[in-house]
Amino acid sequence: MRKYLIGSAFLYVAAALFQGGHLAQAQSLTLDQVTTSKAQVIEVLKQETKAIPGLYATSTYQTIKVLILEGTEKGQTELIDNDYLILSKGDVFYLRHTVNKLEGINTYSVADPYRLPTVYFFIGLFIVCVLIFGGKQGMRGLIALALSLASILYILLPSIINGYSPALVSIGVAALIIILGSYITHGFNRVTSSAVFGMIATVIVSGLLAYAAIHFGRLSGFATEEAIYLNMDTHGSINFAGLLLGGIIISLLGVLYDAAIGQAVSVDELHHVAPHLPRLAIFKSALRIGREHIGALVNILAIAYVGASLPLLLLFYQSSGNASLIVNQEIFSTEIIRAMVGSIGLVLAVPITTLIAVTFLIKKSEHPVDDSILKKEKASVESMGHHH
């Protein structure tokens, strides 16, 4: 089924290119009507294992009797052939009903297992853990997370679908997420404001880097099946290069938030330890703390990208072709650039946020300070930095 859909998608795109973009003027197509509803296995009537022609693999084929649990066909039973997912009596799953209006043919197939109970359980477990061990701060974090997801669902996605620039909308929503998350979690104060300005400045710089990478790397944003399907569904109204840029920016926010808040707090704490120390000394000491933070966060970010791209890496590992040609392919180049731009943005967040925090939080001393006091405070600050 999946191979059929992929093949159909490419044939559709090829036909559109062949006709010079005038597909709309061609004879109208009769699309299949597809509905999906929850169903339950009443009985497994037949099950056997067959070899897949042309492949060194086998697949399990079933004939099952199912009861439809929702929708206009609720209470109806159907016999279906299933070669997608091994099911047992009592299993709940999503059933796909396809109606071919042109030929008058109805077909039923297994769409997906019913995973929502597992999903809801782990969401609930996450919330409980955050509330128990995070307390009020954890509650604020959950509120900030909910508002961030709402911003993506109700502002970012509709704006892109309605034709607005994915890049500009992503930067705007990223700034909104930064502001909401920071002030809700850490309160309205100068330290939080320093981190907010540092994050917004870093997002802008990262956006420019991502734009340059996409432009000079000639990335189209069509490296995945999802992009092809979305382009078909939206009739080519979305700028997928801009969508790729927006995805890079949004994916950076989580780790960026941690780095920026950490640097702003470090500057504030160092200033409290040595209030008479000049800005440059505080800046250098905070950077020393930030370097240790960078080492850990870059590793976390890179490993996260590797984990998300594990199937792609396995495909690369098994390939016997030229390595440079493989890496040059858009699907590989996109992931590498995504990881590199994100990591560069994370590294730049440390000096940018530190500089802004030093400017905002530390006032220039109007009275001269004894050199012995400065030396003592400098030693105290350096000790704090080394033991971070």
Contact status, residue 361 vs residue 271, Cβ threshold 8 Å? yes
Domain layout of the chain by residue ranges: 30-114, 135-386
Summarize pLDDT for 322-338 with one digit per residue, the tens.
Answer: 778 877 888 888 888 88
Q: How many CA atoms lie within 13 A of 278 on its CB side?
A: 10
Q: What is the dihedral of CA 120, 121, 127, 131, to 10 degrees?
A: 150
Q: Distance of alpha carbon 61 from its chain centroid, rounded? A: 35
H/E run at residue 48: strand 33-51
pLDDT at residue 9, as a whole number: 40
Assign a CATH topology to domain 30-114.
OB fold (Dihydrolipoamide Acetyltransferase, E2P) (2.40.50)
Summarize pLDDT for 288-309 with one digit per residue, the tens.
Answer: 888 877 877 777 777 877 777 7
Summarize pLDDT for 232-286 with one digit per residue, the tens.
Answer: 888 778 888 888 888 888 888 877 888 899 899 999 988 888 887 888 888 988 9
CATH number attached to the domain at 135-386: 1.20.1640
- 20: number of Cβ within 10 Å: 8
Query: Taking the model in full, what pTM does it have?
Result: 0.72
58 DSSP β-pair partners: 51
Lowest mean pLDDT: which of 55-59, 121-125, 143-147, 227-231?
A: 55-59
Lowest mean pLDDT: which of 1-10, 94-103, 232-241, 248-257?
A: 1-10
Spatial CB neighbours of 135, under 8 Å, sequence gap ≥ 6: none
Query: Any idea which residue has 């640097």 for tokens?
Result: 263
Summarize pLDDT for 120-129 with one digit per residue, the tens.
Answer: 999 999 999 9
Rounded CA gap, 255 and 264, in Å? 15
Lowest mean pLDDT: which of 149-153, 167-171, 197-201?
A: 167-171
